[in-house]
C-alpha cells in the first residue's frame, strides 16, 4: 500500500540523482547514503507493522486507524489533533523536515516470524526509515532486534513486557507504553484497599514473554502485601476454551483469580470464569475477586457485562479530560465514529514523538533521532508530564488504575478511572531489569 | 460423611469429568459426521472442520439479521467527540416489542432452525459439485481437494465477517451456572457448572441418538448401512445408492453445522475455528477406528475427558506440558496396541 505519485518532474529529478550517483566516486556514494533508507525525494516512508489477524487483531485495526490519523496531522490535514496540545512545537503540519509523510503497512499476524518478515519487507523493499506498531511483546522484541540489525528506528506499539526495555532492550528501540513492573506498582496499593492483605491468588498466565513478565510483577507486589500465591498455571496463547484451566480454580482454596491474558484470550478466559460463577462466589468467607492486570477498552467491549467491577491497569483511557486526550478523542471520533483505544493512543503518540525528534535533530539518522528522544520531556499527549528515559528508552508517566463500570452509559463507556498513580511511585532504576542498550546502528 | 480431602478431590474430579464431557460432545459430533462420510462415500473429508465453522457463522448471520438497527439521532445529546448521539434500537424490538427481545435473546437456539436447511444445501452442493468427482481417486487427492476447499471457505468467511471473533451470548436465562454439587449430595457451591455447557452436552447426546436412530430404525438408514457394507451389491439390487449417499453427506454437514451453532456461546467464533477442531477430530476418528460410528462417539468423549484431566495442576506438576500433547500421546498408544483403533473393522483403509 504505497501512496506514491510519480510525476514527470519527479522522474527527471530521480534520473538526475541516479546519474550523479553513478558518476560519483566510490567514497562519495558512501556519503550519499549515510544511513539505511535515507529519504532522498520529497517524501519519507514510515512502516506500520500491526496485527491484522490473530488473537490481537482488534488492537491492530485500531493502531492502523491511529497511524493514518497521525500521518494526516503530520502532513497538515484534518484538525491537527494532539499536535496542537503537544508541548514541543517543532512540527508545523508540513510533513517532517519538509518531506511529506507516507506509509506502508504490514501484518504481524501476532507471530514473531511473520512480524519480522513483514518488517524486513518494509525496510528492504519499500524503503521505510522507521518501523512502528505491534500488539504483542513477543513480536515487539523480535522486530526490535531486526530493526537494530537493519539500522532503522523501532517505535514499539502496544507491548507491556518488562523485557522490551529491560533485558532485551536495544539502542534503536523506544517504548511509550508502560510495563508490567509499573502495573504491579500501581495496582498494589489499590488491591490492598479493595481486598485486604490476607488473600490467596491463583494465576492463569499466557505462556510467552509478556505473560511471564506480568505474572512475576503481580506476584512480587501482591506478595509484598502479604498475599499468598496458590498456583500459577501457564496456558497456551490462543487456547480458546479455557474451561479446563478454570475448573481447577473452583476448589483450589484461592479467593482471587489473576488473569494474565490479553486480547481475545482475556475475553474468552474472563467470560468463561464468570460463566463458572467465579465473580459471585464466596471463598474463605470473602467475596471472590478477579483481576485483569492489563485492561483495554477493546477487551472490555468483547467481554461485555463480564467486566463489571473488575480491577486492572491501563496506559490511557478516552474519558480522560486533559487537553491532549480531549483533542485526540475529538479528531479520532469524528473520523471513525467511536473513541480510540489505548493501543491507538500509544501508536499515535509514537508516530508524533518520532516525527518531532527527527524534526528537532534535523535528520532521520537513527543515532541522531535517538539522541533527540533520550531524556526528552514532554506534555500534552494525554498522559501528563512524560519523560523518555535515556538509560533504557522507556517512557515514564502516571499510570491509570481502572475498574469495569457497573452502569455503562454507552458501548464505549465501560471503564472508570479509580486512581491515577503518580510517576514517582512506579519508577524503578534502569539496572533493575538488566539488559544493555548497546550502540546505535545507522545501517546503510 | 466423607473426610474433607476426599470431598475436595471428588469435587475436582466431578468437575473435570463434566468439563471433559462437553468438550467430548463437540469432538464426538464432528467425528461422527467425518465417519459417516468416510464410511459411506469413502472420502476423507478435510473440509469437515469448515462445515463446523460455517454452522457457527449461521448463528452469527442470524444474530446480525435480527439485530439490524434503526438509527435515530438524538440532537439534544452529544458524544465526546462532538457529533450528535445516535440512538440505536434493533428493528425486531421496535416491531415486535417484548417478543422481539425474546427472539434476540434466544438467537442461538433459533439459529438451529436457520442452520439445518442451509447446511443441508451446502452439504449437497459440495458433494454434487465437487466431491463426487473424486470418489475413484486415491485418498491423497481427496485430502488435497477437500483441504483446498476448506481454505477457500475459510477465506470467504474471513472476507465477509473479518478476522476477529464475534461474541454470541447465550440466552440470559442460561448464561449463569448451576450448583450441580448440591444435586449429588455434596455441600452447596462446591461444584458449579455453567448451564449452557450442560445444554451443549444434552444437545450433543440428542443429536448423536438421533443419527443412530435414523440409521438403525428407518428403511433409508438400513439401505445406507447396507451400502456402507457393500456398495456394489446394493447397486446391483436396483437401488440408487449414489442419491442416498448425497443425502448422507448433507446429513453429516448438518450435524457438523449444528455442533458449530451451539458451540458459539462457549467459544466466540472466528474464521479459523474449524481448522482448530479438524486435526483433533481426525485423531478422534482414528482412535475410534476408521468407519466406526460408535467408535467415533466413544473416542470423542474419552479424549475430551482425558484432555480435561491432563490440565489439572496435580497432573501437570508430574508431567509438565502434558495438557498440550495428551491427545496425540493417547492416539499413539492406542494405535500401537490396537492398530485399527478402538472399534475399527477389518479391511477399512487397508488395501
HEC letters along B301-318 = HHHHHHHHHHCCHHHHHH
Q: Is residue B197 within 8 angstroms of chain A, CB to CB?
A: yes
Measured CA distances, A203 to A137, A280, A305, B317 (Å): 19, 18, 22, 15
Same domain, A213 and A171: no
Q: List the one residue out of A92, A5, A87 whose CA is nearest residue A43.
A: A5
| B163/A53 touch (CB, cutoff 8 Å), yes or no | yes
pLDDT band at residue B2, thresholds of 50, 70 and 90? low
pLDDT in tens, B289-330: 887 888 999 999 999 999 888 888 777 778 887 888 888 999
Residue B103 has pLDDT above 80, yes or no: yes
The reply to whether residue A251 touches residue B190, judged by beta carbons under 8 angstroms, is yes
> B-chain residues within 8 Å CB-CB of A245?
311
**Contact (Cβ atoms closer than 8 angstroms) between residue A51 and residue A119:** no
What is the domain partition of chain B in residue ranges? 10-337
Report DSSP state, residue A278.
-
CATH number, domain containing residue A233: 3.40.50.2300
Chain mean pLDDT for chain B = 85
Which of A285, A314, A343 marks a domain boundary? A314
Interface check for B308 against chain A (CB to CB < 8 A): the answer is yes
Q: Are A174 and A151 in contact (CB under 8 A)?
A: no
Measured between beta carbons, which residues in chain A are less than 8 angstroms from residue B324?
A: 236
Domain co-membership, A325 together with A299: no
Q: In this structure, are A341 and A281 located in the same domain?
A: no
Name all contacts of B108-113 with Cβ < 8 Å and 24+ positions apart.
B108/B59, B108/B63, B108/B168, B108/B169, B108/B170, B108/B171, B108/B261, B108/B262, B108/B264, B108/B265, B109/B171, B110/B62, B111/B58, B111/B59, B111/B62, B111/B63, B111/B261, B112/B258, B112/B261, B112/B262
Select from A314, A343, A377 the last residue of a domain: A314
Give a yes or no: residue A424 inside a domain.
Answer: no
For position A160, what pLDDT does the model report?
93
Which structural domain, as residue segments, surrounds residue A293? Answer: 181-314
Residue A184 has what pLDDT?
95
CB contact under 8 A, A271 and B190: no
Quote the pLDDT of residue A3: 53
The SS3 assignment for A436 reads coil
Give the Cα-Cα-Cα angle B164, B60, B92 (nearest 5 degrees): 125
For residue A201, give the 3-state DSSP assignment: strand
| Residues A335, A234 share a domain | no
Whether the CB-CB separation of A94 and A9 falls below 8 Å is answered with no
The whole-angstrom separation of Cα B23 and Cα B39 is: 24
Query: What are the chain A neighbours of B8 within 8 Å (beta carbons)?
Result: 251
- Residue A242 is assigned to a structural domain of this protein: yes
> Based on the structure, what is the number of domains in chain A?
2
Per-residue confidence in pLDDT tens, chain A, 444 aa: 455 556 667 666 666 665 555 554 444 444 456 899 999 889 999 999 999 877 677 789 999 999 999 999 999 998 999 999 999 999 988 999 999 999 999 999 888 999 999 999 999 999 999 999 998 899 999 999 999 999 999 999 999 999 999 999 999 999 999 999 999 999 999 999 999 999 999 999 999 889 999 999 999 999 999 999 999 999 988 777 888 889 888 888 899 999 999 887 888 899 889 888 888 888 888 899 999 999 888 888 878 788 889 999 999 999 899 999 999 999 999 999 889 999 999 999 999 999 999 999 999 999 999 999 999 999 999 999 999 999 999 999 999 999 999 888 777 888 899 999 999 999 999 999 988 999 999 987
Same domain, A163 and A24: yes
Chain segment B209-263, per-residue pLDDT in tens: 999 999 999 999 998 888 888 888 888 888 888 888 899 999 999 999 999 999 9
User: What pLDDT shows up at residue A4?
Assistant: 55
Partner residue opposite B311 with nearest CB, options A244, A276, A281:
A244
pTM over the 0.90 mark: no
Query: Among partner residues B80, B191, B196, which is closest to A318 by beta-carbon distance?
Result: B80
Q: Does residue B126 carry a pLDDT above 70? A: yes
Shared-domain flag, residues A189 and A146 = no
Residues of chain A with C-beta less than 8 angstroms from the C-beta of B83:
333-334, 337
The 3-class secondary structure across B121-185, one letter per residue, is HHHHHHHHHCHHHHCCCCHHHHHHHHHHHHHHHHHHHHHHHCCCCCCCCCCHHHCCEEEHHHHCC
In a domain, A281, yes or no: yes
Name the region of B268 (left: φ>0; alpha: ψ -120 to 50; beta: rest).
beta
Euclidean distance between CA atoms B26 and B31, whole angstroms: 9
Q: How far is B235 from chain A (nearest CA, A)?
A: 45
d(Cα A365, Cα A385) in Å, to the nearest integer?
Answer: 27
Percent of all residues in chain B with a pLDDT value above 90, rounded to a whole number: 29
What's the distance, CA A422 to chain centroid? 20
Do the domain assignments include residue A50? yes
Around Cβ A272, how many Cβ atoms within 10 Å? Answer: 23
**Do the domain assignments include residue A380?**
yes
Residue of B105, B164, B303 to mutate, interface with A, max A Cβ within 10 Å: B164
> Are residues A166 and A66 located together in one domain of the fold?
yes
Of B192, B267, B276, the CB nearest to A277: B192
Closest residue, chain A, to B273 (C-alpha): A240
CB < 8 Å to A58, chain B: 164
**Interface contact A247-B79, CB threshold 8 A:** no
Q: Is residue A236 part of a domain?
A: yes
- Are residues A93 and A166 both part of a single domain? yes
Q: Within this chain, do residues A278 and A370 fall inside the same structural domain, yes or no?
A: no
Q: Are strands A282-283 and A311-314 parallel, antiparallel or unpaired?
A: unpaired
Minimal CA–CA distance to A382: which of A84, A86, A156, A92?
Answer: A86
A419: in domain: no
The three three-digit cell numbers of residue A196, written as one number: 485486604
B87 bridge partner residues? B72
> Which residues of chain B are within 8 Å of residue A332 when distances are taken between CB atoms?
81
**Residue A99 belongs to a domain:** yes
CB A420 within 8 A of CB A393: no
Amino acid at each position: 500500500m504505497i501512496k506514491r505519485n510519480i510525476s514527470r518532474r519527479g522522474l527527471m529529478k530521480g534520473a538526475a540523482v541516479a546519474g550523479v550517483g553513478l558518476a560519483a566516486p566510490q567514497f562519495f556514494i558512501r556519503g550519499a547514503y549515510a544511513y539505511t533508507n535515507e529519504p532522498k525525494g520529497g517524501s519519507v516512508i514510515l512502516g506500520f507493522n500491526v496485527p491484522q489477524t490473530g488473537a490481537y487483531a482488534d488492537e491492530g485495526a485500531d493502531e492502523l486507524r491511529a497511524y493514518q490519523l497521525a500521518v494526516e496531522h503530520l502532513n497538515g490535514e484534518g484538525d491537527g489533533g494532539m499536535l496542537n496540545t503537544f508541548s514541543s512545537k517543532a512540527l508545523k503540519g508540513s510533513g517532517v523536515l519538509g518531506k511529506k509523510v507516507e506509509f506502508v503497512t504490514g501484518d504481524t499476524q501476532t507471530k514473531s516470524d511473520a512480524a519480522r518478515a513483514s518488517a524486513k519487507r518494509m525496510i528492504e523493499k519499500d524503503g521505510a526509515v522507521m518501523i512502528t506498531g505491534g500488539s504483542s511483546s513477543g513480536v515487539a522484541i523480535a522486530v526490535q532486534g531486526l530493526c537494530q540489525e537493519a539500522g532503522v528506528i523501532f517505535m514499539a506499539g502496544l507491548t507491556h513486557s518488562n523485557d522490551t526495555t529491560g533485558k532485551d532492550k536495544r539502542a534503536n528501540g523506544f517504548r511509550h507504553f508502560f510495563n508490567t513492573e509499573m502495573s504491579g506498582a500501581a495496582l498494589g496499593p489499590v488491591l490492598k484497599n479493595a481486598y485486604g492483605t490476607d488473600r490467596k491468588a491463583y494465576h492463569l498466565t499466557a505462556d510467552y514473554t509478556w505473560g511471564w513478565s506480568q505474572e512475576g510483577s503481580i506476584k512480587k507486589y501482591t506478595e509484598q502485601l502479604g498475599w499468598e500465591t496458590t498456583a500459577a498455571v501457564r496456558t497456551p496463547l490462543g487456547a480458546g476454551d479455557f474451561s479446563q484451566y478454570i475448573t481447577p480454580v473452583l476448589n483450589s482454596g484461592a479467593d482471587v483469580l489473576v488473569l494474565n491474558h490479553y486480547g481475545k484470550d482475556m475475553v474468552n478466559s474472563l467470560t468463561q470464569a464468570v460463566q463458572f460463577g467465579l465473580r459471585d462466589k464466596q471463598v474463605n468467607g470473602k467475596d471472590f475477586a478477579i483481576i485483569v492486570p492489563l485492561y483495554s477498552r477493546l477487551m472490555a467491549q468483547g467481554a461485555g457485562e463480564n467486566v463489571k467491577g473488575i480491577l486492572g491497569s491501563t496506559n490511557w483511557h478516552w474519558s480522560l479530560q486533559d487537553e491532549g486526550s480531549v483533542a485526540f478523542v475529538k479528531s479520532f471520533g469524528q473520523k471513525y465514529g467511536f473513541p480510540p483505544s489505548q493501543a491507538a493512543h500509544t501508536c499515535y503518540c509514537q508516530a508524533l514523538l518520532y516525527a518531532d525528534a527527527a524534526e528537532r535533530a534535523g535528520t532521520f539518522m537513527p543515532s541522531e533521532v535517538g539522541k533527540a528522544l533520550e531524556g526528552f520531556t514532554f506534555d500534552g499527549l494525554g498522559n501528563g508530564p512524560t519523560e523518555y528515559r535515556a538509560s533504557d528508552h522507556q517512557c515514564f508517566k502516571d499510570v491509570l488504575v481502572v475498574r469495569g463500570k457497573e452502569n455503562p452509559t454507552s458501548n464505549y463507556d465501560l471503564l472508570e478511572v479509580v486512581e491515577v498513580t503518580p510517576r514517582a511511585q512506579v519508577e524503578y532504576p534502569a539496572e533493575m531489569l538488566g539488559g544493555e542498550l548497546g550502540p546505535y546502528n545507522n545501517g546503510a | 460423611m466423607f473426610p474433607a480431602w476426599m470431598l475436595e478431590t471428588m469435587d475436582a474430579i466431578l468437575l473435570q469429568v463434566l468439563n471433559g464431557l462437553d468438550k467430548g460432545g463437540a469432538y464426538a459430533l464432528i467425528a461422527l459426521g467425518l465417519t459417516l462420510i468416510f464410511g459411506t462415500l469413502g472420502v476423507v473429508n478435510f473440509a469437515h472442520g469448515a462445515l463446523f465453522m460455517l454452522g457457527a457463522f449461521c448463528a452469527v448471520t442470524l444474530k446480525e439479521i435480527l439485530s439490524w438497527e434503526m438509527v435515530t439521532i438524538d440532537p439534544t445529546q452529544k458524544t465526546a467527540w462532538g457529533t450528535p448521539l445516535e440512538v440505536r434500537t434493533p428493528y425486531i424490538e421496535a416491531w415486535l416489542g417484548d417478543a422481539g427481545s425474546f427472539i434476540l435473546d434466544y438467537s442461538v437456539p433459533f439459529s438451529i432452525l436457520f442452520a439445518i436447511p442451509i447446511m443441508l444445501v451446502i452439504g449437497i452442493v459440495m458433494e454434487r459439485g465437487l466431491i463426487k468427482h473424486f470418489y475413484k481417486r486415491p485418498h491423497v487427492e481427496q485430502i488435497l481437494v477437500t483441504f483446498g476447499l476448506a481454505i477457500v471457505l475459510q477465506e470467504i468467511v474471513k472476507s465477509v465477517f473479518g478476522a476477529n471473533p464475534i461474541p454470541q451470548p447465550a440466552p440470559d436465562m442460561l448464561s449463569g451456572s448451576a450448583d450441580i454439587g448440591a444435586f449429588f449430595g455434596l455441600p452447596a457451591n462446591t461444584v458449579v457448572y455453567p448451564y449452557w455447557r450442560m445444554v451443549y452436552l444434552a444437545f450433543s447426546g440428542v443429536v448423536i441418538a438421533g443419527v443412530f436412530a435414523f440409521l438403525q430404525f428407518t428403511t433409508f438408514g438400513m439401505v445406507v448401512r447396507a451400502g456402507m457394507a457393500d456398495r456394489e451389491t446394493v447397486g446391483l439390487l436396483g437401488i440408487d445408492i449414489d442419491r442416498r449417499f448425497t443425502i448422507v453427506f448433507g446429513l453429516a454437514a448438518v450435524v457438523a453445522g449444528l455442533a458449530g451453532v451451539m458451540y458459539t456461546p462457549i467459544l466466540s467464533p472466528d474464521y479459523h475455528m474449524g481448522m482448530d477442531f479438524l486435526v483433533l477430530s481426525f485423531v478422534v476418528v482414528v482412535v475410534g477406528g476408521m468407519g466406526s460410528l460408535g467408535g467415533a462417539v466413544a473416542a470423542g468423549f474419552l479424549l475430551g475427558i482425558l484432555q480435561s484431566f491432563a490440565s489439572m495442576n496435580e497432573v501437570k506438576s508430574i508431567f509438565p506440558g502434558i495438557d498440550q500433547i495428551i491427545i496425540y500421546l493417547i492416539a499413539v498408544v492406542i494405535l500401537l496396541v490396537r492398530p485399527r483403533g478402538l472399534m475399527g473393522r477389518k479391511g477399512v483403509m487397508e488395501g
